[in-house]
A and B are shown apart, each in its own frame.
Chain A
């Protein structure tokens, strides 16, 4: 083809203007810098403009950063970047979208870019500290997502996890989703916003939109990837052999002293200190390892005038922190999304994700074993000839009750999961009245099979410790389908702007499972034979089951605004759900009102506010993550004599309740404001969320059992503030700063005239009482430690209980001169009363830098590991406890003596075991370098290289491995590592 250089001074430039998500921007202004030729983009973002030689073009669009570019002829694609803080940003709400300026509820948005800073298998981990009111508890186990709670805990027995809506489909768990596939994530916090999700909305809703292709865009290849190491951090220091032996001697327990002597006999005496055995095993050091985390996502996307597409593939792998055992997670994902315009008014599309993951779990119990194993036990003991196939040391050989050594538990268990997901959706959308009335129908199907295979390999440790091989296999399949139909009407009548939505949703949730087990594998060490057929026939058991629920919903919404000044959003959802037999139908209304004060005449002279909106909302939704019923509705056989002959009869266990879903009602009031040329933004929200009919155990007076009923009231309330500051100092230097703060108060309001509801175990009591937080830790307060005999003899409590110096002195709460159950008080809640997150970001020329911080306070952690001395008083303890024990007058007023530790008196549930759970963390640091116009493949290539430090530093006072503990009870928590990665993104 012959190319003729035009000699004319002006040239025709064609182009398309897109937003960051490759959505065409209609109505964007294009102006030539010298000639002032101008143009406006059409509905598809296309424009055409005459450009004089040498001049640049300036593209502006409200809410987006204005660009000044050198034209590239004959056509160019212009991607505009959204200005932060913009109120024109569109937010996903249920079954629709809304401008941020028009919102009346509490909705936060997290951009895909911010999510991708966190190296993790699961997007949930990335939310920590990013949004006020979202509480995230991570787990370090490979492939395990974080626990998320939005605005506290509103249920006693149900699940509090939010609902995830991924491209229109509902999920309780999104471990199949590659975080780098996410475009945006919207968190709907208040009930007026989530009411449209009906019974699924109680825990809050997180709407996720995955990345998508764009029309009129040439194919683009992209790669995003990182590789790094995970490093166990804040590893708990355990007592070493010297400290342990000191404790053993001070305990006064002959059995413990004898064990030390046996250890010296068996393993020799230390040459440094001949009074301790020549063994000093640091079990954490032996077992914990650094491990690899890696993620690669490659894909291509683009589109013609009528079709757009995106295809990507993702590989993720994460190794665990435990050596010896297989604990790892590997996932391969494929994602394809296509959309086509059949006409100007008719659009169809499909979205497919296939995810294939393999996950190996270590026994949770091993975390306890590592903690408790005595340091005077070696890993291997060549003299333990009875141990097969590996001569692991056995603590029974030196007189302990258990084998203690955690290695066999790691080595001889193989627990594998295969988790596959095939998620499909198709939709069709037709504009019945162009731009005004749209009908959309969408089908989603999520097919999720999961296989488990757990093998216990045979081993012996000697001294009657023999473990036979066993196999457990379980297969389950979930198949959830939804079919949504919506009609959306969008119009303006003068100053009245109206969006009306009406829709139906049909949901079918089905699942079935099969499991089987057997013992004595034929050839247990050969993994090729790990099937039930190779187990001993007599030992085989199997079971299967299924469940299926249907739900039908009708919903509608009115979005109304008058002159952008007065806002109203009203939603209603009626949902029928077959899970609940008592009353399948529920009605979930929501209403929100907003008043944009800054649009009022009296405010227009105020230069202080660029935008000011007051908003208030109320809504109701349901929690269907509670069982359908409680109590056994079961038939029991009985026999009785009739005329001296034995007859059989039956009776029905009659303590039975059909539940209804729990109803949550929430009132939210807030302010949205922009100051200082939109550089500073503030969102303030106050909420009160009540669970109206929480399912609680109710004492049944007549039959004296506990029966769960919809009879409790719980309240979560709090204040949330989000502040952000964005500024550009010059073209090359931009920075932003953000802060989010949240307070939370959780209160049990009504438990049906009962004094309390107990939870936790009897030894580690948690109790819910009216006016207190749910499942609050409950026990004695330690006033100090008896320091000497005269203190003991002066206190009748001490003399009646035969106490000694080194024992706890408890607070006599009711001053009756006795220490008994009545002196127990609430020792605190596991829910933090205050959390904060902060982030700082800066772009300078090609460099970008970000830092985020997170902290929480006001929560307590039950150090159950310390507490378990009640059952295992001959095992190891943390070094802090060993060093700071009471061992003579004045040595400690908070820790008991070694002897005292083993006494029931000091093992009562007390604030000695309930510790401050506050922590502060540097959540993430990232430094990136951007390379533009890199012409590798004769085409413009962009690249970014970056270094990430995730959770490099955490500070806490708690005497455990990690202050991040699920529901505040630290027993077998998989600690969360620090992660350091190198990353590369390339776009061609």
Chain B
């Protein structure tokens, strides 16, 4: 009897103790996470993907100039304000200069935001069914390409960096600094990981996000990373795969390629899209092209605004092009002022210039002399007659090319000349495709030097391709022009002071 009672009591007590259960620990009313989103609406999965494109398209105006300034194709454009921008062009770096920190931050932050968006896509994926699952994987892969592009640009500019793989910088910092080689290898591997999930089409063939990243964008980026790694066979394989797809074609009109008619052409592997939506007022989404524009002009369509005059094609480039007898690509790349033409004439070699060299563009915009520079960048110019009626901002609605098929062809040619085996066309054929579009004769027996010259001519003022080519091939003498002296110590920008203060960068 006594025992029974005891058992009952112990049983009761155990019951009491056991009732406290852990499952409630997962409940938390009233904490609203980002997940007030209904992830079961998988049709909204595209929203974070588009958000990542928005992140990468909305570049700070200082990003492009700082990344692309240091080659022998372009100069800072006179003195005046932004002294340290000019000094950077002269390879005198100041780690306290705001632009360094700003570009660093803009691009790092975008990588983090893209990673956060990847997490959102994965949340939708949990509810995805059928084709949506593959689509989710594709979006994640696309996001990786976008992020890798940022990481690529940053590492070419600063060298050793943290690889941003998460949306929590602390975790990435904890993984430590990686050398540029490690980062390039990481990008190449990341592209291999992404490629199977990406759409097998030209970007402009996509219907969900026209102009978005595809398999070929990833292949091109993989080639670029391997070019830095001097793994030329991988370059040749990746670019050869693009060529063999037969999906890409150079846009006929090199001049219009950089204008509205060239938007999302068959030549484009990656392009930042901007638009004023063809409306005279209201929303618009633009890069701040005014930075590139001439400081004074008489536009064909009056009222079109001019620019700040900061991005000046170099005299070296112009003379190089004139010597080659280039017309189309020079006229597209450079806008002349009379002052610039006069200075060219002062050189006996260029005392007489072709008649087309004037301060009037093919579309009739007249570039007036201005203090800061003698030339302006034509690839960043949109003729005033292409502006949407009512829009006056310089270059409003103009896209920005990021990776073009021409660059792919020339990377392929270079890889072959560096000893790789090609699986597509010959190096000669690749170079000649580019030359034909530029209105030049075919050449045979292409040399490495021919390829690099072709790249110089073709890709000037585009993302510093020229600078990074010269650095990578140790052709420092090319960069030591117009009184500059380039040495190995100048390859990378110094880490911004604000980042040195805050990060374990040593």
Using CB atoms and an 8 Å cutoff, list the residues of chain A in contact with chain B: 430, 432, 439, 441, 483, 485, 487, 504-506, 508, 510-511, 545-552, 576-579, 581, 584, 628-629, 633-635, 638-654, 699-704, 709
Contact = CB atoms under 8 A, between A and B. Distances in A.
Contact of B28 (A579, A633, A642): A579
B261 interface: no
Interface stretch (B61-69, B113-121, B315-323, B341-349): B113-121
20 contacts: A485-B20, A506-B20, A510-B29, A546-B30, A547-B29, A548-B27, A638-B51, A642-B53, A642-B209, A643-B210, A644-B273, A646-B275, A649-B48, A651-B51, A654-B115, A700-B169, A701-B173, A701-B502, A702-B169, A704-B498
Contacts of B21: 552
A702 B25 contact: no
A652 B25 contact: no
B16 interface: yes
A547 B50 contact: no
A545 B31 CA distance: 10
B24 interface: yes
A538 B143 CA distance: 45
A641 B28 contact: no
Given A545-B30, A651-B55, 6 more contacts: A547-B31, A548-B28, A578-B26, A639-B283, A654-B115, A702-B105
Contacts of B127: none
Contacts of B212: 642
Nearest to B166: A654
Contacts of A549: 28
Q: Chain A CB within 10 Å — which of B29, B263, B274 has the most?
A: B29
A703 to B, nearest CB: 5
A444 to B, nearest CB: 15
A649 B54 contact: yes
B475 to A, nearest CB: 33
Contacts of B20: 483, 485, 504-506, 552
Interface string B77-108: 00000000000000000000000000001001
Contacts of B34: 633-635, 652-653
A536 to B, nearest CB: 30
B21 to A, nearest CB: 7
A643 B47 contact: no
A660 to B, nearest CB: 14
Nearest to A645: B277
Q: Chain B CB within 10 Å — which of A505, A639, A647 has the most?
A: A647
Nearest to A709: B170
A547 B27 CA distance: 10
B116 A654 contact: yes
Contacts of B115: 654
Contacts of B501: 701
Contacts of A703: 105, 108-109, 112, 169
Contact of A547 (B30, B37, B167, B210): B30
Contact of B499 (A547, A548, A651, A701): A701
A649 B16 contact: no
B210 A650 contact: no
B28 A652 contact: no
Contacts of B17: 485, 504
A651 B117 contact: yes
B209 A584 contact: no
A702 B164 CA distance: 10
A430 B24 contact: no
B135 to A, nearest CB: 15
Interface string B397-414: 100000000000000000
Nearest to B28: A578
Nearest to A704: B105
Q: Chain B CB within 10 Å — which of A629, A699, A702, A709 has the most?
A: A702
> Mostly helix, strand, loop or mixed at chain A's interface?
strand
A641 B498 contact: no
Nearest to B260: A644
Nearest to A547: B30
Contacts of A504: 16-17, 20
Interface of B: 6, 9-10, 13, 16-17, 19-22, 24-31, 33-34, 36-37, 46-55, 57-58, 105, 108-109, 112-113, 115-117, 119-120, 162, 164, 167-170, 172-173, 209-212, 263-264, 273-275, 277-278, 283, 285, 397, 498-499, 501-503
Contact of B503 (A483, A551, A701): A701
Contact of A641 (B24, B33, B112, B277): B277
Contacts of A648: 47, 50
Contact of B50 (A579, A584, A647): A647
Q: Chain B CB within 10 Å — which of A430, A432, A638, A653 has the most?
A: A638
Given A546-B29, A641-B285, A650 B47 contact: yes
A485 B13 CA distance: 8
Contacts of A578: 24-28
A441 B28 CA distance: 26
Nearest to A754: B502
A699 B116 CA distance: 19
A649 B57 CA distance: 12
B53 A652 contact: no
Q: Chain B CB within 10 Å — which of A430, A549, A579, A699 has the most?
A: A549
Contacts of B46: 649
Contacts of A581: 28, 31
A701 B48 contact: no
A634 B16 CA distance: 41
Nearest to A548: B29
A346 to B, nearest CB: 10
B113 A654 contact: yes
Contacts of B24: 508, 550, 552, 578
A647 B57 CA distance: 13
Contact of A633 (B13, B33, B117, B170): B33
A430 B8 CA distance: 13
Contact of B37 (A439, A635, A651): A635
Nearest to B275: A641
Contacts of B170: 709
Contacts of B105: 702-704
Given A654-B116, A702-B164, A649 B25 contact: no
A629 B31 contact: yes
B61 to A, nearest CB: 17
B25 A552 contact: yes
Given A640-B273, A702-B164, A439 B22 contact: no
A432 B5 CA distance: 10
Nearest to B29: A548
Given A506-B20, A642-B211, A644-B275, A651 B29 contact: no
Nearest to B208: A642
A513 B108 CA distance: 40
A487 B9 CA distance: 12
A485 B17 CA distance: 7
Contacts of A639: 54, 283, 285
Nearest to A503: B17
A508 B34 CA distance: 25
A781 to B, nearest CB: 27
A760 B17 CA distance: 48
A17 B117 CA distance: 74
Given A633-B33, A702-B105, A552 B22 contact: yes
B11 to A, nearest CB: 12
Contacts of A699: 502
Contacts of B285: 639-641, 646
Nearest to B104: A702
A855 B151 CA distance: 61
Q: Chain B CB within 10 Å — which of A505, A552, A641, A647 has the most?
A: A641
Nearest to A646: B277
Contact of A487 (B13, B22, B54): B13
B113 to A, nearest CB: 5
Nearest to B55: A651
B325 to A, nearest CB: 36
A552 B22 CA distance: 7
B263 to A, nearest CB: 7
